[in-house]
Structure 1
């Protein structure tokens, strides 16, 4: 089953870019990604650019509204994701715990709804 592991943290909560601590964080990501690839569960994953690059689209009463920024005001921001194909939720959670940002942020794990199995 596919699971989306969404990586959230507050801006400035993690190590600063260019510091040795940031290098250690990136090494942790490389290690986790390599493990997921080696175990054939990795299907995708990427970091996202900062929230200052976000654009939100809403349609209300037939009118499209476009605003700069994320969809909600929150301290924690979506910074990236992994798409994994795991045997069950427990396996997905074990990978989520290995994501370095879990130490200062949070990882939301959600199963992907397989719409191919839904009959009309």
Structure 2
């Protein structure tokens, strides 16, 4: 079954880190991504641009309303995701617990509908 691991953290956290801390963070994500790849679990992954680049679209009375920014204002922002293959929720949760994002934010685990 496929699961989406949604990584939420304070967006300013990265820019407030020292260069050394950023390098350590990138190394942790690279190692995590390699572990997923080696296990055959990785199906896709991307880091998202900042929320300042977001645009929200909503249809109201048949007309599109386009707004700058995210739909929800929150202290933690969606920063990226991993799409993984796991035999069950417990395995997906184990991968989420290993994700570096769980150390400085939260990782939401969502099963995908099988189409």
Q: Same fold (TM over 0.5)?
A: yes
Q: Which residue number in structure 2 is paired with residue 106 of structure 1?
A: 106
Distance in 2 of aligned mates of 1:101 and 1:68: 26
Q: Which residue number in structure 1 is paired with residue 65 of structure 2?
A: 65
SS at match of 2:74: coil
Q: Which residue number in structure 2 is paired with residue 44 of structure 1?
A: 44
Aligned-residue Cα RMSD (Å) equals 1.3
Deviating above 6 A after TM superposition, structure 1's stretches of 4 or more consecutive aligned residues are: none
The residue correspondences of 1:1-120 to structure 2 (distance < 5 A) are 1-14=1-14, 16=16, 19-115=19-115
- Which runs of 5 or more structure 2 residues have no equivalent in the other structure? none
User: How many residues end up aligned between the 2 structures?
Assistant: 115
Cα pair 2:11 2:79 within 8 Å, conserved: no
Give the TM-score normalised by the residue count of structure 2.
0.94
Give the TM-score normalised by the residue count of structure 1.
0.90
- Which runs of 5 or more structure 1 residues have no equivalent in the other structure? 116-120
